[in-house]
């Protein structure tokens, strides 16, 4: 009787449901109940979409990881995390020195296993991470990013696993991040991997949304899979994962040896998760994310992205409808925009070479599709807004695309003077840890235990600076207050609160709240004051998001009084985890920067002024 073991993907449960992760005090409260459930040999504690979002609401993720992994180690349960190979824990590629530090820090913090994946399945991105992880003493689990296309066949995946095993991978994960892997094919992939190396550990990860996952779990278990990722109520199913109870009962009935579930502990953990939900996390979990939807089969969007997608879509829909009202056009509903988006993703995906739809490439393809939808809704042409990091994917700077790029996009790249690349992607991103170390020392910031703060700053520069200044927490508290006020709005005619007070690092901020289309008054004190107004033509935000003058510390912002040429990058709008360049349409002199770096802007907000020459 073969034993199948279970992993609780606690981090991914939250990411797949909504935008944020629990606070460390909440994590420490639920850990004992998860342990007492008695059915889990592994728990996913951290990784991509954990550190970054903790910074966004002002919590130190390094302290969270150390505290959160400790009780599981003491109970003999392995902890694992998700990492993005060349991209580490972020959306954009990392230098080699940062990638090496990454694994040393995470091992020191208490993470046992790292699940390494590349959305292009480019072995040049994954194999170095296998080596760095093993050098740091971690278990290196190499992932096959599963999708369904003419290119991604059973043979393709078995050969990919063979390459990873030969490169030293300790384990293989079938990362079925969209849940669209077909059950029988997945079983054949596991059979093929076990034929290569009988004792290689294989773990299966799937999302429930499209509806295949329970059948897929049974097929991979029959083929010899060792570990199954599961979720638990109230965050199972929908865009999340199959519930542990269902999976355990199914496999037990099929004759597998599985651990029993302590149902008293399950109910305690379930209650604690609901408490976290009610506290603040539920305000960022759209109702549609609780529902399974076979429409997800066609676009193949990953469950881990659907949590944030539905939250982001609210803002995009509001912005688009604002334009439609202004132009006497009928507004769209959420469902209408969602169907248009799903159809456009299915159209765009083969055009950009069939990248597996997993972070960051799922966001790139989705963002490209959404921009196409928005532009076409406004009567403009498809492909009229492509962010630089999406171009990097198309051009090969992130790795080799599985399929060819469509001729019309190749022609567009040629018209814009862009070149396709074939070099090792790592070569485009030089080491920069020394620069960050110098910046931290100049600021008087601690490098942290095992250089973990240096790692965090280097991995997430803009988010870390916002965390250190207190701006991240103030922005989060303001947004949460607005959401709570809207949900708990008093009867018509009653007055809604206009301000809240937020304490950050011992300093009190009074934050103004706006409702609907109101414009909030300036909040004081500000982390950095905007530059004084000057004369010139308005430069408008091309879309809704957060404005940044630079996207990393390697760039120098254009200064007031500096000459700019048509096509120069003036700044960026960070929207849906992508930095979209704002470019000058004409030659001139920059005379004003109207908003602060990190400020939220709406489409068509004035952000700068340029005096024509």
Which residue, among 164, 109, 167, has the nearest Cα to 136 in the 3D structure? 109
- Cβ atoms of 443 and 38 closer than 8 Å: no
Tell me the C-alpha distance between 54 and 39, whole Å. Answer: 28
Tokens 């004051």 correspond to 529
Average pLDDT over residues 468-487: 88
Q: Tell me which of 166-170, 198-202, 309-313 is least confident.
A: 309-313
Q: What pLDDT digit, counting tens, does each position of 484-538 carry?
A: 888 776 555 555 555 555 555 555 555 555 554 444 444 443 344 444 457 788 8
Which secondary structure element, helix H or strand E, spans residue 197, and what is its range? Answer: none
pLDDT at 424 over 90: yes
Q: Which residues of 357-396 are buried (b: 16+ CB within 10 A; e: fewer)?
A: bbbbbbbbbbbbbbbbbbbebeeeebbebbbbbbbbbbbb
Residue 584 tokens, joined: 């000058």
Average pLDDT of every residue of the chain:
88
pLDDT at 245 over 80: yes
| Cα distance between the two ends of the chain | 79
Q: Tell me which of 403-417, 477-491, 530-544, 554-568 is least confident.
A: 530-544
Residue 610 tokens, joined: 């340029």
Question: Is the four-CA dihedral 363, 368, 373, 377 of positive or negative sign?
Answer: positive
Average pLDDT over residues 165-176: 98
Average pLDDT over residues 205-220: 95
Beta bridge partners of 47: 82
In this structure, the chain runs to a length of: 613
| % of the chain exceeding 90 in pLDDT | 57
Q: What pLDDT digit, counting tens, does each position of 79-133 carry?
A: 999 999 999 998 889 999 999 999 999 999 999 999 999 999 999 999 999 999 9
Tell me the C-alpha distance between 114 and 460, whole Å. Answer: 19
Q: Tell me which of 10-24, 97-111, 178-192, 513-527 is least confident.
A: 513-527
**Model pTM score:** 0.80
Residue 426 tokens, joined: 């790592």
496 Cβ neighbours under 8 A, 6+ residues apart: 485, 489, 490, 513, 515
Average pLDDT over residues 25-53: 93
Backbone angles phi, psi at 73, to 5 degrees: -60, -45
Domains of the chain: 537-612 (2.40.50.100)
Which residue, among 391, 398, 441, has the nearest Cα to 412 in the 3D structure? 391
Which residue, among 54, 19, 122, 51, has the nearest Cα to 458 in the 3D structure? 51
Q: How many C-beta neighbours within 10 Å does residue 52 have?
A: 19
């Amino acid at each position: 009787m073969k034993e199948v073991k279970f992993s609780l993907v606690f981090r991914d449960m939250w990411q797949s449901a909504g935008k944020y992760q629990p606070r460390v005090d909440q994590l420490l409260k639920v850990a004992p109940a998860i342990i007492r459930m008695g059915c889990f040999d592994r728990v996913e504690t951290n990784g991509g979409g954990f550190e970054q979002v903790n910074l966004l609401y002002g919590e130190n993720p390094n302290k969270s990881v150390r505290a959160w992994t400790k009780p599981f180690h003491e109970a003999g349960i392995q902890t694992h995390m998700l990492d993005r190979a060349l991209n580490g824990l972020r959306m954009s590629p990392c230098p080699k020195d940062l990638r090496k530090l990454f694994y040393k820090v995470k091992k020191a913090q208490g993470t046992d296993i790292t699940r390494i994946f590349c959305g292009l399945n480019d072995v040049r991105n994954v194999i170095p991470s296998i080596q760095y992880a093993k050098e740091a003493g971690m278990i290196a689990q190499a992932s096959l990013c599963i999708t369904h296309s003419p290119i991604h066949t059973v043979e393709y995946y078995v050969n990919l696993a063979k390459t990873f095993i030969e490169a030293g991978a300790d384990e293989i994960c079938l990362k079925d991040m969209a849940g669209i892997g077909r059950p029988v094919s997945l079983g054949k992939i596991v059979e093929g991997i076990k034929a290569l190396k009988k004792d290689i550990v294989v773990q299966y990860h799937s999302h429930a949304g499209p509806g295949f996952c329970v059948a897929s779990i049974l097929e991979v278990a029959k083929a010899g899979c060792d570990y199954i990722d599961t979720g638990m109520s109230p965050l199972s199913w929908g865009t999340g994962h199959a519930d542990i109870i269902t999976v355990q009962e199914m496999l037990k009935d099929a004759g597998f040896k599985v651990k029993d579930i302590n149902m008293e502990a399950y109910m305690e953990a379930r209650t604690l998760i609901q408490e976290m939900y009610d506290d603040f996390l539920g305000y960022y979990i759209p109702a549609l994310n609780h529902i399974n939807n076979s429409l997800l089969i066609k676009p193949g969007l990953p469950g881990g992205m659907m949590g944030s997608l539905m939250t982001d879509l609210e803002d995009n829909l509001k912005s688009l409808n604002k334009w439609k009202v202004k132009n006497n056009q009928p507004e769209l509903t959420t469902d209408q925009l969602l169907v248009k988006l799903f159809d456009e993703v299915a159209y765009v995906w083969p055009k950009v070479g069939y990248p597996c739809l997993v972070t960051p490439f799922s966001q790139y393809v989705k963002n490209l599709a959404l921009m196409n939808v928005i532009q076409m809704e406004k009567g403009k042409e498809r492909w009229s807004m492509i962010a630089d990091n999406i171009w990097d994917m198309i051009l090969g700077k992130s790795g080799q695309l599985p399929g060819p790029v469509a001729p019309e996009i190749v022609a567009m790249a040629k018209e814009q003077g862009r070149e396709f690349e074939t070099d090792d992607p790592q070569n485009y991103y030089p080491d920069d840890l020394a620069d960050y170390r110098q910046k931290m020392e100049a600021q008087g910031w601690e490098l942290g235990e095992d250089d973990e703060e240096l790692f965090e700053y280097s991995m997430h520069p803009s988010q870390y600076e916002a965390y250190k200044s207190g701006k991240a927490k103030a922005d989060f508290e303001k947004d949460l207050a607005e959401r709570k006020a809207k949900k708990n709005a008093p009867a018509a005619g009653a007055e809604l609160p206009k301000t809240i007070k937020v304490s950050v690092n011992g300093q009190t901020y009074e934050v103004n709240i706006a409702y609907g289309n109101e414009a909030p008054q300036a909040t004081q004190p500000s982390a950095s004051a905007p530059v004084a107004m000057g004369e010139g033509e308005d430069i408008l935000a091309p879309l809704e998001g957060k404005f940044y003058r630079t996207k990393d510390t390697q760039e120098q912002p254009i200064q007031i009084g500096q000459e700019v040429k048509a096509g120069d990058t003036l700044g960026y709008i960070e929207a849906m985890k992508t930095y979209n360049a704002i470019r000058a349409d004409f030659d001139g002199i920059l005379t004003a920067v109207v908003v602060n770096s990190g400020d939220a802007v709406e489409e068509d907000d004035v952000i700068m002024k340029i005096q024509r020459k």
